[in-house]
């Protein structure tokens, strides 16, 4: 009986602590992002320990642009002219970044 109560309590705490993403939270995607880890659909992951580049993300009203930025040794930034367009779509209770380039299409799920 004690085990059942313990598991119910742990389940309740876990479910009550999860945060759902709101539309207003999507504005937080703006800024500079460093990729630390990628989890592939089959479950394997790849970690990026050192990044010479970060992504500058501009976002407004469901659409955005990503650009690569390199920090130079003198403290300045070098931004490339390649703009990767993306949009954000909601499916059920999850949000996805829909990326499109001339060479590939892919999706990234927003977890937090």
Inter-residue contact 83 to 65 (CB < 8 Å): yes
Q: How much is the mean pLDDT over the chain?
A: 81
Query: Which distant-in-sequence residues (6+ apart) come within 8 Å of 19 by Cβ?
Result: 112
Three-state SS annotation for 5-51: HHHHHHHHHHHHHCCCCCHHHHHHHCEEECCCEEECCCCCEEECCCC
**C-alpha 60 chain-centroid distance:** 16
User: Is the pLDDT at 27 greater than 80, yes or no?
Assistant: yes
Residue range 24-48: mean pLDDT, rounded: 87
How much is the pTM? Answer: 0.69
> pLDDT tens-digit profile of 46-77?
888 877 888 999 999 899 999 999 888 888 88
Check residue 30 and give its pLDDT: 92
């Amino acid at each position: 009986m004690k085990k059942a109560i313990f598991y119910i309590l742990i389940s309740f705490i876990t479910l009550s602590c999860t945060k759902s993403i709101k539309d207003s939270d999507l504005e937080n995607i703006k800024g500079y992002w460093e990729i630390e880890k990628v989890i592939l659909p089959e479950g394997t992951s790849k970690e990026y320990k050192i990044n010479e580049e970060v992504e500058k993300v501009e976002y407004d009203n469901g659409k955005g642009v990503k650009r690569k930025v390199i920090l130079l040794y003198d403290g300045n930034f070098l931004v490339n002219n390649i703009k990767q367009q993306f949009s954000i779509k909601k499916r059920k209770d999850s949000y996805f970044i829909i990326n499109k380039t001339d060479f590939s299409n892919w999706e990234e799920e927003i977890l937090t």
